[in-house]
Amino acid sequence: MTDTDDAIAAFANVASLPLRAHSSPEPEGQRRRRFRTIWISDVHLGTRGCNARLLIDFLDHTDSETMYLVGDIIDGWRLKKKLFWPPEHNDIVWRILKRAKRGTRVVYIPGNHDEIVRQFCGLDFGGVEIMRAAFHTTADGRRLMVLHGDEFDAIMLAHRWLASVGDTLYHVTMGLSGWVNTVRRALGLPYWSLSKAAKHKVKNAVEFISKYEEVVARAAGERGVDGVVCGHIHTAEIRTFAHDGRTVEYYNDGDWVEGCTALVEHFDGRMELLHWPEEVARREAAQDAAPAAPAELAAA
């Protein structure tokens, strides 16, 4: 059996799982932050590293006219080794499908970990459009190329076996990070990513990220667009590069394993990165600082 056959079998296993009732139902009538566009990527459903709790919270507190799923939403590499699909991962799928049903345009651009989905590009499943790449026009008229970004990863292109080894080591690190955050939650501390901190300390990783960003921005400039939105390297960033006498904007929406970030477009075209652990911390701090309700005062 080939790797492709294994991946197809893994996705068939997931597809056959009963999408049972929510373990965490989507709240009804809750006020949400509205955006023109939301981009998320590198969710890695089907792995223990997926931070489903924070992503569910994000989906419950935001909404948009368009949502781009910029690859590695489902991790076929891990699923073909071992099926892991907790109820929270169903909750995420339900929430995305529900968005599409209520009128949000949802575009799914598969990445390298869910590359098996690329064979379905051009089709529509449950209101979700599957595309190899997309072009997005912002409210202020800028044209952005949207793609996962593994196309520009030299390791992925030339040494797939090395990428597989790196993926295994990465998941070991994420397992350690999970233990660290279990302890931090018990101590009332916010989420912190061990792998993200380590990556920013390693010189070679920093150099790879910088080179990757330059290559992707140059490719966007050569295609005549104003900017590019991608994922893949799990590093949220907004940068501007010069190309042939003009500027090219580089946007990376990050991931939902380490940083738990999303890229959003406001209705005036302004772009912003949301670091969701920080958003949750601010919300909880505001709730703690809010005056007690009259009933609570009376009982005090």
Q: Give the pLDDT band of residue 126 (cuts 50, 70, 90).
A: confident
- Per-residue pLDDT at 24: 76
Average pLDDT over residues 37-48: 96
Bridge partners of residue 94, in order along the sequence: none
Cα–Cα distance, 140 to 138 (Å, whole number): 5
| Among 72, 139, 144, CA closest to 108 | 72
Residues 6 or more apart whose CB falls under 8 angstroms from that of 240 comprise 247, 248, 249, 250
- Per-residue pLDDT at 27: 83
> Over 80: is that where the pLDDT of 123 sits?
yes
Does 163 fall in a domain? yes
Quick one: what percent of the chain has pLDDT higher than 70? 71
Does 159 fall in a domain? yes
User: Which residue stretches of 22-159 are H helix?
Assistant: 52-61, 76-79, 87-101, 154-158
- The two beta strands, 124-125 and 128-130, are antiparallel
Cα–Cα distance, 278 to 284 (Å, whole number): 10
Q: For the ranges 93-97, 264-268, 290-294, which has the lowest average pLDDT?
A: 290-294
For the chain, what is the mean pLDDT? 81
Does 218 fall in a domain? yes
**44-89: per-residue pLDDT in tens?**
999 999 999 999 999 999 999 999 999 999 999 888 888 899 999 9
Does 22 fall in a domain? yes
**241-254: per-residue pLDDT in tens?**
998 899 999 999 99
Q: What is the CATH number of the domain that holds 142?
A: 3.60.21.10
> Over 60: is that where the pLDDT of 194 sits?
no
- Name the region of 149 (left: φ>0; alpha: ψ -120 to 50; beta: rest): left
Does 166 fall in a domain? yes
Cα–Cα distance, 222 to 101 (Å, whole number): 37
Does 162 fall in a domain? yes
3-state DSSP call for residue 157?
helix
| Among 171, 193, 189, 176, CA closest to 275 | 193
| Among 209, 178, 172, CA closest to 78 | 172
Amino acid at position 84, single letter: F
Q: Give the pLDDT band of residue 291 (cuts 50, 70, 90).
A: confident
Which class for 288: exposed (0-12), middle (13-18), buried (19 or more C-beta within 10 A)? exposed
- Per-residue pLDDT at 159: 38
- The two beta strands, 261-265 and 33-40, are antiparallel
Residue-range definition of the domain harbouring residue 148: 3-277
Q: Give the pLDDT band of residue 208 (cuts 50, 70, 90).
A: low
Which class for 298: exposed (0-12), middle (13-18), buried (19 or more C-beta within 10 A)? exposed
Q: For the ranges 112-116, 167-171, 175-179, 191-195, which has the lowest average pLDDT?
A: 167-171
Does 284 fall in a domain? no
Per the structure, the count of domains in the chain is 1
Does 98 fall in a domain? yes
| Among 228, 200, 206, CA closest to 216 | 228
> Over 60: is that where the pLDDT of 203 sits?
no
- Name the region of 213 (left: φ>0; alpha: ψ -120 to 50; beta: rest): alpha
